[in-house]
Amino acid sequence: MYVADQPGKSRRSRFVRVHHLDGGGTRPLGGRLIDGQPGVLRRAATACHCLLIEHSTGLALVDTGYGEQAVTRPEVWVGRQIIRRTRPVLDQVIARHVEDLGFAREDVRDIIVTHLDLDHAGGLADFPEATVHVYQAELDAMTGAYGRRERFRYRPVQIEHGPKWMAYGESDSRDDHLFGLRAVRELRGLPTEILMVPLAGHTRGHVGVAVDTGNGWLLHAGDAYSFHGQMERRPRMPLGASVFQRSLDTLRSSRVENQRRLRELVHDHRDAVTVFSSHCATEFERLRGTDGHER
């Protein structure tokens, strides 16, 4: 069983440590047109930014990458078409990263998912006993019938083990705000330092996850945006990434509006909160090996 070595006695002495883990990004064709780095005739590099949070009473994950079964049966778990198109890096298994840090998989008692796309939910099966905190609209999108356009992104096989869902909805985030964004502050069984921030658009029930580290806030924005330049005052992003983003929009106007809110937050609260996305390799490189702060 996991025991934090400095359990929080009060809100002031809380203990939250964050590890940035790469659950395997993609290596699609297009170089600069996707990742903004020099060279077009090479494969681009994206990350799959997940977090392992050591908090006062245990371990929590934010997102899970493709998962271990993507290694053992990739065509079933991820799908042949996705593999051919995006060239996912499947040997970056979050459960193994957790073990490399000296923990057991069973120590992870909670998982908060930004959404249930196959590159975020694939590792849920590696933690079958964990409680999975999710937005209800996302669960409905995955298990409901929204037609072919949304069916390609979710892989029902990834949840066949029956995750222990803990779902939240509009009423849970009505009254609370974090830096001007609505937030769910009461994630059952988790300390109040970890919040869910609804950011619909990419999918119907997409959320960000905010963590108060005691030394500034982190906001994992999931796929609410995908390239660091989108958070600049004059947003910019490579053409290929932009086409990709649009092709994956479920609710475009919400995605655009939430990106605007995030950009505003970044500029108004730069000293208090570090915002990053799932797939920007530049942001991942900036934050890996830190407790989350660029300063």
Q: How far is the CB of 188 from Zn ion (least distance, A)?
A: 25
d(CA 60, CA 80): 31
Q: How far is the CB of 244 from Zn ion (least distance, A)?
A: 10
What is the DSSP-derived secondary structure letter of residue 24? Answer: -
**DSSP H or E stretch at residue 131:** strand 131-135
# chain residues binding Zn ion, by CB under 5 A = 3
Indicate the residue among 68 and 117 with the shorter CB distance to Zn ion: 117
- Region near Zn ion per CB under 5 A, out of 36-44, 115-123, 176-184, 185-193: 115-123
The closest alpha carbon to 279, from 78, 45, 71, 18, belongs to: 45
The closest alpha carbon to 130, from 98, 155, 168, 162, belongs to: 162
Q: Which of 22, 68, 110, 119 binds Zn ion (CB under 5 A)?
A: 119
Q: Please, which of residues 210-249 interact with Zn ion by CB under 5 A?
A: 223
Indicate the residue among 16 and 93 with the shorter CB distance to Zn ion: 93
Indicate the residue among 82 and 125 with the shorter CB distance to Zn ion: 82
Q: How far is the CB of 155 from Zn ion (least distance, A)?
A: 13
180 three-state secondary structure: coil
Query: For the CA atoms of the chain, what is the radius of gyration?
Result: 18
- Taking residues 70 to 109 in sequence order and writing x for each that binds Zn ion by CB under 5 A, - otherwise, the string is ----------------------------------------
The label of the residue with tokens 């979710």 reads 154
Indicate the residue among 15 and 225 with the shorter CB distance to Zn ion: 225
Per-residue CA distances from 118 to 140, 198, 207, 219, 280 (Å)? 15, 19, 16, 21, 17
Indicate the residue among 131 and 245 with the shorter CB distance to Zn ion: 245
- For Zn ion, the binding residues (CB under 5 A) are 117, 119, 223
